[in-house]
Every structure is written in C-alpha cells, then in structure tokens.
C-alpha cells in the first residue's frame, strides 16, 4: 500500500514538472515570437523605406509662408528653396536632416526670403545628416556613420536674415561653383550668432560679400566651432567692415592646411575681438586687409596669426602659446605689422 501511494505521488510530481516545463517553453516561445515581430517591424520599416520616427519629407520651392514644427523630424530629400517674399519658420527644437546621397549630389537649403529660426539657447534648431542618429531618433538602421560633407549648405542670398541658436553638423561639402561652408552668405552678410557648428568638410561659416559702397555688416559672434578643418571665412572687396567677436574655434589638428579665421579684403575698421582659435594650421589669417586684432587667443596651431600682403594691421593684447612654428608670422618683406603688448 505504501509503495502504491509513493508511486502515485511521484506520478503527480512528474506531471507537475512536465506542466511547468511546457509553461516555460511556451513563455520562451512567446518571448521569441514577440522579439521576431519587433525586429520585423523595425527592419521592415528599413527595407520598405519607412523611417523609424514620425517624419515629414520636404524638397523643392516653398510657395507660401510655411512652418516646420518640432513634433516631427523634417527630412530634406531634395534641394529646398525659400524664394523672396516667402518666410519659412522653424520652431525651437525642430530637427532637420539632409538625406545623404552617395556620389557627387549633396543637398542645400537656399534662402532668398526669410529663414525664421526660433531656436533658443536651451532648445536650439538642429541641421544635420540623415545618418546622424545622435538627435531626432534613428531614421535608417542601414546607414553608416555620419561624415563631414554628407550635405552641402544653408545658402543665404538675403542679408536680412538672423541665424541664431542652431546646431549645424556634418555639412559643408564643396561644389563646382566654389560654394563651401555649412552656412554661407553669398553677396550678402547675415547675422550669425550663438550657434554650434561641428564636423564640416569645408568652412563652418563662409561669407562672400562685395557691396557697392562702404558698409558695416552685422556681427558674427558667440559661435562655437568644433572639429572643422576651416572655421570662418570672410571675403570682400574692401568695402565691408566686419566684426568677429567671442567665437571659439577648434580645428582637427591638421598641420598642413586649414585655418580658424580667414579674412580677405575686409574693410577699414574691421575688428577681430576676443576670439579663440586652436588646433589649426593657421589660427587667424589676413590677406590684403588691415583689421584691428585685439584680445584674441591663438593656442596650439602651427601659425598663431598669419599675415600677408597687408599694410599695418594692428595686433594688440593677443595671447599666443603652443604654436609650433610662429605665434605671429608676417609673410611680407615690405609690409609692416603693428604688434605690441602681445
């Protein structure tokens, strides 16, 4: 009788164990099924060209006043043009990604009207590559890492624009017309203030402005530029007086080419004040102009300040340290440089 009861108990225990084993297997199978479904949703979106975040795709000419909102990723799939008399407003916190295309084609935002960016110091507007997953969510899992020159530039043709509180990365590709710079002013000089630029292929900021009469242009100030081989480039015809101040520029450490600030033919009275340049081939470079250069810092460049074909520029109270060849170099054997209190 005792053996019979023991056998019955063992049978019951075995049945319980079998049930539990089946439950564990079913739970494991259910988990695997859920995981497969999740992966299919993710990779299905990638395979069928569907983004992984809520996205609006834009390209072409904007025909009426338009607002891009922060609740959706804005994906630029073709060149976008803001014509004269049209305003594009971009809300604070909006992320704009330019689609990366292999080959020579790179995308642009052309601004003949007004680009009304409403970013703040705490909530900027972002312009970056479609391959940049660090902001705005993952767009495409099949993309490689972002790289400088993934897109071309924001091209201003209207100097009444104010570009402020933006983060701009992975642009600056060079085209056949010589347009280079993630943010470019072409025949105009917009206000460029309090932005963060990084990973440009060419200058982070480039302005080419040839006014017909002497003019003092809006300031380029309070910008941070990191990991760019070229920082700020300003080319004029001797009639545009510029004011660059409180910009912090860090290069890539290239010892053969590149500059932090490059000025060519800027007007009388131009001021370069309290800027910092480091890890460039030439920290601040001047060609055919004589600006006032005061209270700037040039650290760990090959040349700190580099001057050529310029008559009597004024270099006062600048700090230069760790520049591997010269703190201040004058290429000319005839032009003089007023360099005191440095």
Examine the fold and report which residue of 14, 32, 50 is the final residue of a domain before the chain moves on: 50
Model pLDDT for residues 242-284, shown as the tens digit of each residue? 999 999 999 999 999 999 999 999 999 999 999 999 999 999 9
Beta bridge partners, 321, equal 299
Asked whether residue 221 is domain-assigned, the answer is: no
**Inter-residue contact 97 to 139 (CB < 8 Å):** yes
Position 149 confidence tier, pLDDT thresholds 50, 70, 90: very high
Examine the fold and report which residue of 177, 209, 241 is the final residue of a domain before the chain moves on: 209
Q: How far apart are the first and last CA of the chain?
A: 107
Residues 190 and 117 in one domain: yes
- pLDDT value of residue 176: 53
pTM of the model as a whole: 0.84
Mean pLDDT of 35-40: 46
**Inter-residue contact 51 to 133 (CB < 8 Å):** no
Asked whether residue 223 is domain-assigned, the answer is: no
- pLDDT value of residue 90: 98
Model pLDDT for residues 53-67, shown as the tens digit of each residue? 789 999 999 999 999
Residues 236 and 132 in one domain: no
Residues 31 and 129 in one domain: no
Residues 65 and 164 in one domain: yes
- Name, in order, each residue with C-beta under 8 angstroms of 341's C-beta and a sequence gap of 6 or more: 316, 317
What is the rounded CA–CA span in Å between residue 51 and residue 203? 31
- pLDDT value of residue 44: 43
Residues 205 and 57 in one domain: yes
Residues 41 and 153 in one domain: no
Asked whether residue 7 is domain-assigned, the answer is: yes
Position 143 confidence tier, pLDDT thresholds 50, 70, 90: confident
Mean pLDDT of 300-318: 89
Extended beta strands in 30-107, E state = 55-61, 66-68, 73-82, 87-90, 95-98
Asked whether residue 340 is domain-assigned, the answer is: yes
Token output for 54: 């809520």
Residues 286 and 309 in one domain: yes
Residues 294 and 260 in one domain: yes
Instruction: Burial-class residue 188 by CB neighbours within 10 Å (0-12, 13-18, 19+).
Output: buried
Asked whether residue 107 is domain-assigned, the answer is: yes
Q: Which domain holds residue 308?
A: 229-342
Percent of the chain predicted with pLDDT > 70: 82
Position 38 confidence tier, pLDDT thresholds 50, 70, 90: very low
Q: What is the mean pLDDT of the chain?
A: 87
Examine the fold and report which residue of 144, 174, 209 is the final residue of a domain before the chain moves on: 209
Structural domains in the chain (count): 3
């Amino acid at each position: 009788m005792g053996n019979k009861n023991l056998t019955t108990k063992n049978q019951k225990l075995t049945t319980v164990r079998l049930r539990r084993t089946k439950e564990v297997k079913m739970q494991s199978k259910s988990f695997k099924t859920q995981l497969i479904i999740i992966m299919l949703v993710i990779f299905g979106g990638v395979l069928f060209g569907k983004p992984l975040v809520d996205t609006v795709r834009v390209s072409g000419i904007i025909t009426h006043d338009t607002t891009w909102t922060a609740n959706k990723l804005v994906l630029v799939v073709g060149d976008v043009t803001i014509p004269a008399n049209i305003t594009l407003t971009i809300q604070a916190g909006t992320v704009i990604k330019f689609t990366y295309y292999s080959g020579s084609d790179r995308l642009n935002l052309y601004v003949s009207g007004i680009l009304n960016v409403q970013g703040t110091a705490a909530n900027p507007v972002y312009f970056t590559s479609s391959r940049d997953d660090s902001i705005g969510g993952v767009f495409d899992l099949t993309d490689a890492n972002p790289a400088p020159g993934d897109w071309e530039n924001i091209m201003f043709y209207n100097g009444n624009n104010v570009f402020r509180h933006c983060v701009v990365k992975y642009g600056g590709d060079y085209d056949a017309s010589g347009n280079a710079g993630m943010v470019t002013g072409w025949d105009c000089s917009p206000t460029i203030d309090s932005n963060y630029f990084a990973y440009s292929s060419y200058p982070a900021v480039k302005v080419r402005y040839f006014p017909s009469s002497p003019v003092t242009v809006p300031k380029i100030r309070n910008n941070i530029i990191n990991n760019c081989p070229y920082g700020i480039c300003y080319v004029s015809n001797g009639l545009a007086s510029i004011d660059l101040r409180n910009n912090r520029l860090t290069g890539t450490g290239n010892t053969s080419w590149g500059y932090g600030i490059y000025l060519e033919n800027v007007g009388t009275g131009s001021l370069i004040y309290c800027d910092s340049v480091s890890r460039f081939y030439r920290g601040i470079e001047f060609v055919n102009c004589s600006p006032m250069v005061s209270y700037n810092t040039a650290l760990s460049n090959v040349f700190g300040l580099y001057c050529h074909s310029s008559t009597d520029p004024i270099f006062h109270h600048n700090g230069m340290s760790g520049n591997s060849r010269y703190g201040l170099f004058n290429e000319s054997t005839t032009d003089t440089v007023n360099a005191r209190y440095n």
